[in-house]
Amino acid sequence: MKHLAVLGSTGSIGKSTLSVVEAFPDRFEVVSMAAGHNLEVLRQQLGDHHPQVVCVADPEDAQTMATEFPATRWVSGAEGLVEAACLPDVDTLVAALVGSVGLPSTLAAIQAGKDVALANKETLVVAGDLVMRSAESSGATVVPVDSEHNAIHQALRVGPQTAVSRLILTASGGPLRTWSGSQIRQAGREQALAHPTWSMGPKITVDSATMMNKGLEIIEAHHLFKRAEDEIDVVVHPQSIVHSLVEYVDGTLIAQLAINDMRFPIMYALAWPDRLTSPLERLDLAKVSQLTFEEPDAERFPSLRLARHALQAGGEMPAVLNAANEIAVETFLSGRIKLGVITDTVEAVLNQHTPNSQPLDSLEQALAADTAGRRLAKQFLEESVRA
């Protein structure tokens, strides 16, 4: 029996995780949870799960929920997230918070020796070197939940790391894959959120529309699998059936395929190193009929170039990239800007930021870089909106 902390329980990954737990009650138990402000969904989840500790964003919400669920200990804010993640009874943290807010609690859990099923890519984008060094030091295992990195994790079991030639991340191409560059720049909220193959939260869906999600995944793959930036490629695969591939030195490609259901990678990450007999729908290749692949267009989707630039620069630049993107996506979702301004913002911030010359090796430095990126992004966006 694995005892889980599920941070981000009311989001897409959190809901899917709880579904997996409910399918395997003899294998998994939730002992702590964290949610933001969606108390309605949280109440429903507490009807099926009875965690010891629950964290919510707002202290007032914690007080309200404590009167309704007195048997549960309620905490709030950043300190509450760390407490929920590091509860002594927790074996594995499911890190499913959206954005860099997930970094401190995930790092604390790793430093405490907790295994992590990582669905929060920003944790490694912002402080990948620090996080992975901490895992090596504490003995914690980090298994990715992102379908692409989860696929690579599986494909790497075929041969030794020394025999790997390159990693190939697949991308759906998002809802605007066939649009012209000018059309993409003018896209609005409704258009960017109409993803053709995946059902995800709004932030990651917008990142898919700009292909920033794939840029962030390049950085994440670099840290997870210790591969250089030029050993990580991206290919557009609209059907989202091949979730990623590993190429070995003999030219062999090993791919992982499944229907596009996040419960597959969640099951794999939670059961690692075992495999569970899945109750989910199986992939019927005859029904799929056709799998196609395309080169990504870096002209129409400049986020790929910007992410590679930040990774090459190293240090705190990926943290700045992520911070600028988060602020720009928030502004876009509020309806104040068009989609193209997101990448304009990120590029402007990367050009303006003067990085610390020291490698990023502390949580404080990571958070300072995050703050600097957000400040510069807000300044740029205020000027853009006024213009």
Question: Which range of residues forms the domain containing residue 250?
Answer: 145-300
Task: Answer yes or no: is 309 within a domain.
Answer: no
* pTM, entire model: 0.94
pLDDT of residue 357: 62
Residue 71: give its domain's CATH number. 3.40.50.720
Query: Residue 192 has which token pair?
Result: 């960017």
Mean pLDDT of 136-145: 98
* Lowest mean pLDDT segment, chosen from 235-249, 331-345, 372-386: 372-386
Residue environment code for 305-315, b if the CB has 16+ CB neighbours within 10 A, otherwise e:
ebbbbbbeeeb
One domain for residues 13 and 131: yes
Residue 353: give its domain's CATH number. 1.10.1740.10
Q: Which of 300, 322, 357 is the last residue of a domain?
A: 300
Question: Is residue 210 over pLDDT 90?
Answer: yes
Task: Answer yes or no: is 195 within a domain.
Answer: yes
Q: What is the pLDDT of residues 152-162, one digit of tens each?
A: 999 999 999 99
Question: Is residue 197 over pLDDT 90?
Answer: no
Q: Which of 266, 300, 334 is the last residue of a domain?
A: 300
Contact between 226 and 238 under an 8 Å Cβ cutoff? The reply is no
Q: Which pairing describes strands 2-7 and 28-34: parallel, antiparallel, or unpaired?
A: parallel
One domain for residues 265 and 232: yes
Q: In what helix (H) or strand (E) does residue 158 lie, and over which residues does it extend? A: none
pLDDT above 90: percentage of residues in the chain = 89
Task: Answer yes or no: is 305 within a domain.
Answer: no
pLDDT of residue 330: 96
Mean pLDDT in the chain? 94
One domain for residues 183 and 282: yes
* Lowest mean pLDDT segment, chosen from 158-172, 190-204, 218-232: 190-204
Residue labelled with tokens 């695969």: 237
Q: Quote the CA–CA distance of 86 and 107 in Å, as a whole number.
A: 10
Q: Which of 96, 125, 144 is the last residue of a domain?
A: 144
Q: Is the peptide bond before 273 cis (omega within 30 degrees of 0)?
A: yes
Question: Is residue 336 over pLDDT 80?
Answer: yes
Mean pLDDT of 102-127: 95
Query: Residue 385 has which token pair?
Result: 């909106």
Q: Is the dihedral of CA 136, 140, 143, 145 positive or negative?
A: negative
One domain for residues 149 and 133: no
One domain for residues 132 and 36: yes
Task: Answer yes or no: is 306 within a domain.
Answer: no
Question: Is residue 53 over pLDDT 80?
Answer: yes
Task: Answer yes or no: is 17 within a domain.
Answer: yes
One domain for residues 287 and 157: yes
Task: Answer yes or no: is 92 within a domain.
Answer: yes
Query: Residue 37 has which token pair?
Result: 């402000």
**212-225 vs 147-155: helix axis angle to the nearest 10?**
30
Task: Answer yes or no: is 138 within a domain.
Answer: yes
Contact between 153 and 143 under an 8 Å Cβ cutoff? The reply is yes
Q: What is the pLDDT of residues 3-16, one digit of tens each?
A: 999 999 999 999 99
Query: Residue 112 has which token pair?
Result: 């405490």
One domain for residues 76 and 150: no
Mean pLDDT of 267-271: 98
One domain for residues 106 and 10: yes
DSSP H helices, 24-58, are: 39-48
Domain count across the chain:
3
Q: What is the pLDDT of residues 57-70, one digit of tens each?
A: 999 999 999 999 99
